[in-house]
Chain A
Amino acid sequence: MTITRRNVLLGATAAAALAPIAARAQTSEVVIGVTYPMSGANAQIGVDAQHAYATATDIINNKHDFDLPLAKDAGLSGLGGAKIRLVFADHQGDPQKGRAEAERLITQEKVCAIIGSYQSSVAVTISQTCERYQIPFVSADNSSPSLHTRGLKFFFRAAPHDEMFTKAMFDFYDALKKKGTKIETLALFHEDTIFGTDSANAQIKLANERGYKIVADIKYRSNSPSLSAEVQQLKAANADVLMPSSYTTDGIMLVKTMAELGYKPKAIVAQAAGFSEKALYDAVGDKLEGVITRGSFSLDLAAKRPMVGKINDMFKAKSGKDLNDNTSREFMGLIVLADGINRAKSTDGEKIRAALAATEIPGEQTIMPWKRVKFDELGQNNDADPVLLQYIGGKFVTISPPQGAVAEAVWPMK
């Protein structure tokens, strides 16, 4: 009795698992795996990412008059016009599930590459799995510097990591200082996750190197029910610059608590994340006039490169939002990956890897303010220059670096 039930159950499991394989098997398709948190606390990120990838897929698979790789013709010319198809998987922010989903995508859906994954901890296990199966993993929006230094051959990241972002902030401070603005003390406010820790480590390192004094280093538990004790300490430290590394939820809480406790920092320079999310500005935007955040994307680019505006419109039609720091990186990540597959003229993992390693896309052919896309031997693109954006009058303007700036920074913030 027990035995037969068990067997039936296993059989049913196997059948359910095998079904998608039978349904597949068209050669004119290139399948790419996409893993994001689609449920749980960060589900919103996953849903937004779906729209960003859908926009990129539309541009790759259909004819568009953009100066982007693969936009002008339909499908991948290197593979006889094959279309790309995305398979989404939910990892719920859990490294184990990320690994299991990556394995499923590779062995069942036969994807030729995986792109993802928002949380850096999940990127660790996904990229390891990809390495074991010898297929490329493109990290679209993970910013942890520890990811690319593990010596993985199949890991690629076109976007900047936290150390590059942080360097941009300190370059900006140095420039302001030269002009006579007083910036001496910094207060760090970061969550106790991989993102917060990496970001703070980079900030501490650079502050020491360049002679800034850290007067408060507040590490807090993410999704805390209350941040009043933390904000009290920030207020007491009263640094020249407050540097938060927080996701949306804690970002909202931080700003609200600061207002309640009457703390107005002279300037806020944020490590994006929550501070580039629309939800945060919807909630507390009026209190954030003059906040500065790092970013890898700026809509100001649309003035110089009209396609940026058009692509933003395409994305907005799907999602109801403008492209932001995350979604723009996701969009660009897929374009870079597809370009690699196209030049590899194959869906073989090793060939795609070789093609990606030889990537050379000039900055003008991206939607980003980057110099170019070219990977170093660790799979990191060191020419992805971050920008600093200031929130003024309800939208972001680029204030740094000088070559991309459209306005002078307002300092101190109001």
Chain B
Amino acid sequence: MGLLYGLIAVGLALIFGLMDVVNFAHGEFLMLAMYASFFLFAFFAIDPLLAAPLVAAALFVFGAVVYLLIVRFAVRAKANTGMVQIFSTFGLAIVMRGVAQFFFTPDYRSVTHPWLGGKTISIGGIFLPQPQLIGAAVAMAAFGGLYFFINRTDFGRALEATREDAGAVALVGIDKNRVFALGWGLGAALVGLAGAIMSIFFYIYPDVGASFALIAYVTVALGGFGSVFGAFAGGIIVGLVEATTALILPPSLKSVGIYAVYLLVVFVRPRGLFGSM
């Protein structure tokens, strides 16, 4: 489960952590990805596992478009950039929920009988559900890929440089908007991946994103902004803490453990575990 939180958080880590842009519609991106995966399954009988790249591609386009249409202006705002980002993406989240309810109706959907639905592997009495295992594998691959991407490729460096000093990179001929639009697309594509995997075992309805969004923010901040590895570690810690808390406290309080750990970490290390900013 921890890796799964990590997978959801990794897209956010890119947008939130590396570009320093708050996306309050992250949960809604996830919702959209899950619907995309559901409809691919319902109309074309494409299993969510196969649909994952398609969904990721669709979300890539969506993320880039959202950046160009909305976030570009929010980042450019002269005053209160932070608040403008928070609330323009919050507005976007509400609109997306409304649109989802309008077109998809508020009915609960779920993908019936995907290949991996409900299959489990049992190792020594410990049950490991296959969809979650796949999710974990995809999460690790995504993190690895992203880590490589940020640290080893030109684009990754461009992204980081752009965040640091947009004026300076403009001088060497990098277009900030293009770099950030691609970054947003990539972040959204990762959410798309997460959404497709999630749709195997989670129900889908317009408000589904809300349950995950807050945990994703905490995961990213726990690991520290600006660090891909941090988000990965954050995800694992959140998963472990949640499981342990549920053993000690009543399960309805299990999120309290996650939140308390976050507070402890930032009180000791104000930049998260591996944060650079």
Contacts and interface: CB of A to CB of B under 8 A. Distances in A.
Interface of A: 39-44, 47, 191-192, 218-221, 223-226, 228-230, 233, 248-249, 252-253, 256, 259-262, 277, 279-280, 282-284, 287
Interface of B: 1, 5, 98, 101, 105-110, 112, 118, 120, 122, 127, 129, 131-132, 201-203, 205-207, 210-212, 215, 242-243, 246-247, 250-252, 254-255
A228 B243 contact: yes
Given A43-B106, A225-B211, A261 B201 contact: no
B101 A39 contact: yes
B118 A259 contact: yes
A377 to B, nearest CB: 36
Contacts of B122: 262
Given A44-B105, A230-B246, A260 B118 contact: yes
Nearest to B108: A279
Nearest to A190: B252
A279 B254 contact: no
B252 A41 contact: no
The 8 closest A-B pairs by CB, nearest first: A229-B246, A43-B106, A260-B129, A283-B110, A279-B108, A44-B106, A259-B118, A192-B252
B207 A40 contact: yes
A412 to B, nearest CB: 20
A307 B182 CA distance: 61
Given A41-B207, A225-B215, A287-B118, A47 B243 contact: no
Contacts of A260: 118, 120, 127, 129, 131-132, 201
Given A252-B108, A262-B122, A226 B1 contact: yes
Contacts of B131: 260
B201 A43 contact: no
A229 B251 contact: yes
Contacts of A280: 108
A47 B106 contact: yes
B120 A220 contact: no
B129 A249 contact: no
Nearest to B113: A286
Contacts of A233: 246, 251
B203 A229 contact: no
A44 B107 contact: yes
Contact of A223 (B106, B211, B254): B211
Given A228-B1, A248-B108, A256-B118, A219 B203 contact: no
A248 B132 CA distance: 22
A260 B135 CA distance: 14
A253 to B, nearest CB: 7
A282 B203 CA distance: 11
B5 to A, nearest CB: 8
9 contacts: A40-B207, A44-B107, A221-B252, A225-B211, A260-B120, A260-B129, A260-B132, A279-B107, A279-B108
Contacts of A283: 108-110, 112, 203
B46 to A, nearest CB: 19
Contacts of B246: 229-230, 233
Contacts of A256: 118, 201
A229 B205 CA distance: 23
A41 B127 contact: no
Contacts of A192: 252
B215 to A, nearest CB: 6
Given A249-B108, A260-B120, A283-B109, 11 more contacts: A39-B106, A40-B207, A43-B106, A43-B206, A192-B252, A219-B252, A221-B251, A229-B242, A262-B127, A279-B203, A282-B112
A230 B251 contact: yes
B257 to A, nearest CB: 10
B210 A223 contact: yes
B120 A262 contact: yes
A44 B205 contact: yes
Nearest to A44: B106
Contacts of B112: 282-283
